[in-house]
Chain A
């Protein structure tokens, strides 16, 4: 099993907070890989690092053997035409119709004649079942439809890699089912490598071939969904089973509950408190 993306010893921080410190993982070619972890763990940041939108502070990211950091701006933009990304909000251009949104990457990167563009756009819209919505504006679409249009747009250039940022967040069960099916179907029919980042464990595990669990800036578990379910790491168990308390505590760090309730403040503890008569 060859890997398509190789992340080696990656570190990255935002402000003073270290998000990744020596993260290493590999994503297999031609499979659906789910990267999971608690909220705020930097999953979106990881996708942006893979896409070359952010520069790592240490380590490197290889996509299909290529290190984006060594590329110039124009080469980077060319390399990105080979990857699609589905943003959490869909990120459709609000002033363009559905049709123009899907046609956009084609117009930007190719010099195809208009009738050819039309054929491709209609085929891609048909693949996501929204051929009938081509003249609508993004503001008229429901959340699930927005995401499907965005999906059509990200596969319009037939990329080799497609990344999904929280594809299931805020979707109703039907829209979720449609998306799950689409991700699987596109991966298998187009021969893509798919990476999805999510905290919806059940859906992610149901479609992925390979799963990686990240917490505290490092990989705590990787393998097939079956392997993860059987894992005996407490952290993986808590996450996979969605337990409220465990190694990831329910409570945000705070001082003692009893002291807090009694209103004892720090100065009282030091014997300096005054004014209580």
Chain B
């Protein structure tokens, strides 16, 4: 009994101190961005690693999700004779919710886990220590470019995801199921508001980008430098990111689209 309370207390203290460490870490990662020639070079390289390499999975998933939405939307709406509204349904679902959320989930699995493993491996093989001993700040040289590239890639990926998804929805409903394409687009345009829907969706993507890369990079930096530690941290990145994305999505939706 006493032991379990002790254990609980220790877990609590460990959690709070990890939170503190990660907060300080976040600040240093944000401040670590540099715009020297070398700094920009590192950033571009990470944009490639984190953003461009995630593009394929984002485009393929976006396409399929849009197609499924078109199919499902059509089969529901056709009962009410309002299958023209399928464009509106696909677009609103993607722009408000599925675009940012699914992109962030895929990003956590594809890029987040890779970031954790890469930084973890650098820590385990003493590359981070060795940078420090060479008088190069690993925060500035390793962490900050990865953090910024990840954080800024997610909104870009989310926009591409939504656009591709809407295209997929159009493909299914207009080209295959025969919805009149004028009605498809005009219903969509009258229902989707740029500032309310598109901008809010992008804000969600920015928030998710910050949280996912923060978790991924911190887990990599803070892990126990053994092979077991790396695999644990990679799992943690995916689990924590997914939970954070879904929880924050609820909060943000409540604030943005009303109700609460």
Contacts and interface: CB of A to CB of B under 8 A. Distances in A.
Note whether A and B form a binding pair. yes
Interface of A: 48, 51, 53, 73, 76-81, 83-85, 87-94, 104-105, 107-109
B189 interface: no
B136 A77 contact: yes
B137 interface: yes
B130 A81 contact: no
Contacts of A80: 132-135
A53 B135 contact: no
A48 B125 contact: no
B22 interface: no
Contact of A53 (B121, B122, B125, B133): B133
B127 A93 contact: yes
Contacts of B125: 89-91, 94
B131 to A, nearest CB: 8
B135 A91 contact: no
B129 A87 contact: yes
B141 to A, nearest CB: 8
Nearest to B38: A107
B134 A81 contact: yes
B14 interface: no
A105 B134 contact: yes
Interface string B109-134: 00000000000011001110110111
Contacts of A109: 134-135
Interface of B: 38, 121-122, 125-127, 129-130, 132-137
Contacts of A84: 133
Contacts of A107: 38
Contact of B126 (A76, A78, A89, A108): A89
Nearest to B121: A94
A77 B127 contact: no
Contacts of B130: 85, 87, 91
Contacts of A108: 134-136
Contact of B129 (A76, A91, A92): A91
Given A87-B129, A87-B130, 13 more contacts: A51-B132, A53-B132, A53-B133, A80-B134, A81-B135, A85-B133, A87-B126, A91-B130, A94-B122, A94-B125, A104-B134, A108-B134, A108-B135
Nearest to A78: B135
Nearest to A73: B137
A106 to B, nearest CB: 10
Contacts of A83: 133
A51 B126 contact: no
Contacts of A53: 129, 132-133
Contacts of B129: 48, 53, 87, 91
Nearest to A76: B135
A105 B134 CA distance: 7
Nearest to B133: A85
A169 B132 CA distance: 23
Contacts of B126: 87-89, 91
A51 B127 contact: no
Contacts of B135: 76-81, 105, 108-109
Nearest to A51: B133
23 contacts: A48-B129, A51-B132, A53-B129, A77-B135, A77-B137, A80-B132, A81-B134, A81-B135, A84-B133, A87-B126, A91-B126, A91-B130, A92-B127, A93-B127, A94-B125, A104-B134, A105-B134, A105-B135, A105-B136, A107-B38, A108-B135, A109-B134, A109-B135
A24 B187 CA distance: 80
Contacts of A93: 127
Q: Select the residue from A76, A78, A93, A107 with max chain B CB neighbours within 10 A.
A: A93
Contacts of A48: 129
A204 to B, nearest CB: 21
A151 B134 CA distance: 13
A83 B134 CA distance: 8
A64 to B, nearest CB: 15
Q: Which 8 A-B pairs have the closest CB atoms?
A: A91-B130, A77-B135, A80-B135, A91-B126, A87-B126, A85-B133, A81-B135, A108-B136
